[in-house]
C-alpha cells in the first residue's frame, strides 16, 4: 500500500510547515511513507526553504494548485458573493480535488499549523483509524451537507475535525462516483450544492447568507458508512504564540 501525508500549504503557512515538518513532530505519524506538499508556492521556492531549516526532502512529492484549477474548475463554484467564508470554502474544495488528483492508496489530510506530539497510526490492524474530538458538534450546516449529499444523518456523536484525517483512495473514488450518479452533476458541485446557506447574526453579520461545510466531517462520515473504522480521542494543546511551542504537554495528541 502506498501512503502519503498530504500537507496543504498556503504561502502564509510556510512558517507553520517548517515547524510541523521537523523530525521531532513527523516521527509521531506511524506507517506513512511519503509527504506530498500540495501548494500554490512553487517547488523550487519551497525546497530550499525546507532544506535551510534541516528538513529532509528526499521522501517529499509536490503537487501544485495550478493543476487543480486547470483540471477541476468547479472549485471556483465554491465562491459566493457576500459570503465572508467563501475562500475558506474554496480551499476545502481544493483539498478534495487533490484527493482525486493524487494516486496514493492511503492519504492523510494534514493542516500544517497542527503538530503531532504523540504517536498516531492512521491505518491500524487493517482499518482506518481516526482521531476524533469526543462528543463534539459544530455548525448545523456541516451535518445537513452530509444528509443532503450522502443520504444519511451524521453517524457518530464524535467529531472528525482533527486536522489529521486518513482517506483510502478507493473510498474517495467511490465517493466521486456516488455523488455524480446520485446527483447527476459534477461531484464538487454536488457537494457544495448540498450545503444550505444560513443567515448571519450580529456581531458576525446582518442576515447575509453564508455556508458552513466541513471536509473532515464529510470524509469521516463517508468512511464510517462503508466499513468498520477505529477511533481514538484527540486531546489538544492550543498555542497562540510561537514561544509557547516549548510548553507542549505530552499527554496530548496534537498541538493546534
Instruction: Please write the tens of the pLDDT for every residue from 69-120.
Output: 999 999 999 999 888 889 999 999 999 999 999 999 999 999 998 999 899 9
Q: Taking Cα atoms as reference points, which of 96, 158, 166, 103 lies closest to residue 133? A: 158
pLDDT in tens, 140-198: 889 999 999 999 999 999 999 999 999 999 999 999 999 999 999 999 999 999 999 98
> Do 37 and 62 meet the contact criterion of CB atoms below 8 Å apart?
yes
Query: Tens digit of pLDDT for each residue in 13-68?
Result: 999 999 999 999 999 999 999 999 999 999 999 999 999 999 999 999 999 999 99
Q: Crossing angle of helices 86-101/169-183, nearest 10°?
A: 120
Asked if 116 and 164 touch (Cβ cutoff 8 Å), the reply is: yes
Q: How far apart are CA 230 and CA 246, in angstroms?
A: 31
State phi, psi for 236 to the nearest 5 degrees. -120, 145
φ, ψ (nearest 5 deg) of residue 62 = -140, 135
The domain made up of 3-255 is a member of CATH 1.10.3470: no
Q: Helices 215-226 and 140-150 meet at what angle, rounded to 10? A: 40
Digit-coded pLDDT (tens) for 229-253: 999 999 888 766 656 655 655 555 5
State the residue for C-alpha cell 482517506.
Answer: 167
Residues whose CB falls within 8 Å of the CB of residue 165, separated by 6 or more in sequence, listed in order:
108, 109, 130, 216, 219, 220
pTM of the model: 0.92
Q: Which helix H or strand E contains 179, and what residues bound it?
A: helix 169-183
Amino acid at each position: 500500500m502506498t501512503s502519503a501525508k498530504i500537507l496543504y500549504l498556503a504561502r502564509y503557512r510556510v512558517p507553520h510547515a517548517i515547524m510541523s515538518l521537523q523530525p521531532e513532530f513527523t516521527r509521531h505519524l506511524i506507517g506513512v511513507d511519503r509527504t506530498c506538499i500540495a501548494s500554490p508556492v512553487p517547488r523550487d521556492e519551497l525546497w530550499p526553504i525546507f532544506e535551510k531549516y534541516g528538513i529532509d526532502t528526499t521522501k517529499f512529492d509536490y503537487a501544485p494548485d495550478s493543476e487543480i484549477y486547470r483540471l477541476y474548475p468547479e472549485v471556483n463554484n465554491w465562491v459566493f458573493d457576500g459570503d465572508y467564508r467563501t475562500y475558506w470554502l474554496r480551499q476545502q474544495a481544493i483539498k478534495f480535488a487533490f484527493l482525486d488528483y493524487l494516486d496514493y492508496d492511503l492519504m492523510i489530510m494534514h493542516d500544517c499549523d497542527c503538530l503531532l506530539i504523540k504517536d498516531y497510526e492512521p491505518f491500524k490492524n487493517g482499518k482506518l483509524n481516526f482521531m476524533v474530538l469526543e462528543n463534539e458538534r459544530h455548525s448545523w450546516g456541516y451535518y445537513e451537507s452530509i444528509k443532503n449529499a450522502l443520504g444519511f444523518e451524521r453517524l457518530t456523536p464524535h467529531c472528525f475535525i482533527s486536522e489529521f484525517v486518513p482517506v483510502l483512495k478507493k473510498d474517495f473514488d467511490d465517493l466521486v462516483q456516488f455523488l455524480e450518479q446520485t446527483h447527476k452533476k459534477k461531484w464538487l458541485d454536488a457537494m457544495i450544492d448540498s450545503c444550505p446557506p444560513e443567515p448571519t447574526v450580529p456581531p458576525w453579520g446582518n442576515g447575509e447568507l453564508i455556508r458552513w461545510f466541513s471536509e473532515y466531517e464529510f470524509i469521516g462520515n463517508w468512511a464510517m458508512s462503508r466499513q468498520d473504522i477505529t477511533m481514538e480521542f484527540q486531546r489538544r494543546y492550543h498555542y497562540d504564540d510561537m514561544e509557547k511551542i516549548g510548553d507542549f504537554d505530552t499527554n496530548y495528541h496534537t498541538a493546534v
